[in-house]
Amino acid sequence: MAARLHGRLLIFNFYLKIAMMNGSRALRILTACYSRNLRLRQRFSTQQVLHFRLAIVRPNTGFRYLHLTSKRLNYPDHSKITFPALSPTMEMGTIVSWQKKEGDQLSEGDLMCEIETDKATMGFEAPEEGYLAKIILPEGSKDVPVGKLLCIIVQDKNDVTAFKEFSDVESVAAPTPPATAPAAQESTKQAPPVQAPTQPPQEIMAKGDRLKASPLAKKLAGEQGIDLSSLPGSGPGGRILAADLSQASAQAPIPSGAPTAEYTDIPLSNMRKTIAKRLAEAKSTIPHYYLTSELYIDKLMDVRKKLNALLEKEAKKTGEKPQKLSINDFIIKASALSCLRVPEANSSFMGSFIREHSGVDVSVAVSTPSGLITPIIFDAHTKGVATIGYEVGLLAAKARDGKLQPHEFQGGTFTVSNLGMFGSVDHFTAIINPPQSCILAIGAARRKLVPAEEESSEEKYRAVTSLQVTLSCDHRVVDGAVGAVWLQHFKRFMEEPITMILWGTAGMDKKRGD
């Protein structure tokens, strides 16, 4: 390999068959080209020459020219911050926005940028104090793989200017994909046109002439609405045959269809891609079955009304906004207690074994502009409905604002999906969130008439508040009878809410039939 100096540009002529160059490949160089500290090295990687910009400029010639634009030999002390994995399943993400700009001072924990992951849009905080010297991945960078260089942080503000021309050598020296071969051009020489076989001259009936057509042709023309007077005949003396009608139909112009309606293609966000992938896998790989039950929740509605009145009274004393308990808060509590009684519903299928969880962490499905996410109420079986309601409200607000942290939605042992607040859904079936084994779908509460409980009652019917729920189960973990027992406990807790206070977590030592 020979080298010559041209201004600030070192041009190396490679006589080896080197097709391309990247940061992971070592090169053999002339030792006279560098200072003594590199002279003893016959092989070095591009990580040792971060002060050079690398580019192959003539890949199609017999020689390979590698241009190295001289930069400063040594950078000040700095920290390389790589693109983080903000969830266990995250492989790539998108830089939504930068909250800091180059030269800004950073304290540990400061929000540097917002990253859209496969789960949500989350903030990435500064891992150390210092100054943001260089942003490698600008705002709007999409499908960035985890581990790619994100930015540079220095400790001394005066060192920021040293990184003005800094670039990620792995990105700059990355091999370029081979150029696509140009599509074969059509030959300018055209084959001589093939002369169509001549047909005998066809006569068209002149005005006033008698129509010459076979009976079959007349019949077909009447059925198809074809004007025979405009058709040439191929029969003797210009007689129109049935075959002439077939040819006329084939040559008739096809009426154009209605104009295509306008549409808009919406690119998939990382979160939407993950939702599509995970739910498709769950639906196709998990053997779902569904159990539906109808609950009468009038007693629960009375308890809720009394508790909300009590919370409002307490809020007046402190001047705070009163908390309002929802039916969903009771559903989460009842689900958690039912899972303690039927541990199979609080288990995960792990491929070669089933993991039975000791605590119940209830995932609550929340709809956001970006898609569905399931923040978690940890240890829901140990919490009161007021605490559950407060946490659900807080987590739901953070989810809609894209502010959830990974630990707030990763995990969970049982899921509740409630569409009752829309008022239009009586019941539905939900897809299990793997590796969980169950998910509970809640419809809207309805007022309806049912037969009176006592036949001797003067009124034959009574009005009740009805609620339909559907439990989706993984048959690999939860057998049908076991799922029915879970619903039995859940129904009792919801229809007799005092039992949640009477038994609570102590009910876990009861038998399933209790």
The structure's pTM equals 0.61
93 lies in some domain: yes
Choose the final residue of a domain: 172, 192, 223: 172
- Indicate whether 29 and 125 sit together in one domain: no
pLDDT at 323: 92
Confidence of residue 457 (pLDDT cuts 50, 70, 90): low
**Considering the domain boundaries, does residue 149 fall inside one?**
yes
Both 409 and 504 in one domain: the answer is yes
Q: Tell me whether residue 514 is one of the annotated catalytic residues.
A: no
Place 95 in a pLDDT band, splitting at 50, 70 and 90: very high
Residue 238 counted as domain residue: no
Count of domains in the chain?
3
8-12, 100-104, 158-162: lowest mean pLDDT where? 8-12
Asked if 455 and 343 sit in the same domain, the reply is yes
The whole domain housing 155 covers 79-172
Q: Which of 209, 479, 509, 514 is catalytic?
A: 479
Beta strand pairing call for 414-418 and 438-442: parallel
Q: 206 pLDDT exceeds 80?
A: no
Same domain, 358 and 302: yes
Measured between alpha carbons, how far is 473 from 457 in angstroms, rounded to an integer? Answer: 40
More confident site: 380 or 39: 380
SS3 141: coil
Domain termination residue (choose one: 150, 172, 194)? 172
Return d(Cα 160, Cα 154) in angstroms, integer: 7
Does 103 lie in the same domain as 65?
no
Residue 158 placed within a domain: yes
Report if residue 457 sits inside a domain: yes
Residues 356 and 473 in one domain: yes
Q: What is the pLDDT of residue 393?
A: 94
Query: What is the spatial distance between Cα 315 and Cα 134, in angstroms, rounded to a whole number?
Result: 50
Which residue matches tokens 């790619």? 148
Q: Which of 156, 379, 475, 509 is catalytic?
A: 475
Q: Is residue 420 part of a domain?
A: yes
Q: Do both 347 and 431 map to the same domain?
A: yes
Mean pLDDT of 459-484: 95
pLDDT of residue 369: 82
At residue 15, the pLDDT reads 33
Residue 191: per-residue pLDDT? 46
Examine the domain organization and report whether 363 and 398 are in the same domain: yes
Here the CATH number for the domain that contains residue 438 is 3.30.559.10
430 in Cβ contact with 416 (< 8 Å): no
CA distance 363 to 408: 10
pLDDT for residue 76: 87
Residue 216 in domain: no
Mark whether 471 and 345 lie in a shared domain: yes
Mean pLDDT of 59-84: 59
Mean pLDDT of 480-502: 95
46 with 142, same domain: the answer is no
One-letter amino acid at 234 equals S
Band of the pLDDT at 82, cuts 50, 70, 90?
very high
Is-catalytic flag, 479?
yes
160 and 296 share one domain:
no
Phi, then psi, of 132 in degrees rounded to 5: -80, 105
Q: Please say which residue of 52, 70, 88 terminates a domain.
A: 70
432 and 407 part of one domain: yes
Q: Using the predicted structure, report yes or no on whether residue 25 has a pLDDT greater than 50.
A: no
Report the pLDDT averaged over residues 403-430: 92
Name the DSSP class of 243: H
Confidence of residue 73 (pLDDT cuts 50, 70, 90): very low
Summarize pLDDT for 129-176 with one digit per residue, the tens. 999 999 999 998 988 999 999 999 999 999 999 898 887 765 443 333
Residues 327-384: tens digit of each pLDDT: 999 999 999 999 999 999 999 999 999 999 999 999 999 998 878 899 999 999 999 9
Between 260 and 496, residue with greater pLDDT: 496
Q: Could you give the angle at which helices 298-318 and 385-400 cross, rounded to 10 degrees?
A: 80
Q: Which residues contact 201 (CB under 8 A, 6 or more apart)?
A: none
Q: Is residue 268 part of a domain?
A: no
pLDDT band for 196, please (50, 70, 90 cuts).
very low
Contacts of 410 by beta carbon, 8 Å cutoff, 6+ apart: 87, 88, 119, 376
Q: How far is CA 48 from the centre of its chain?
A: 39
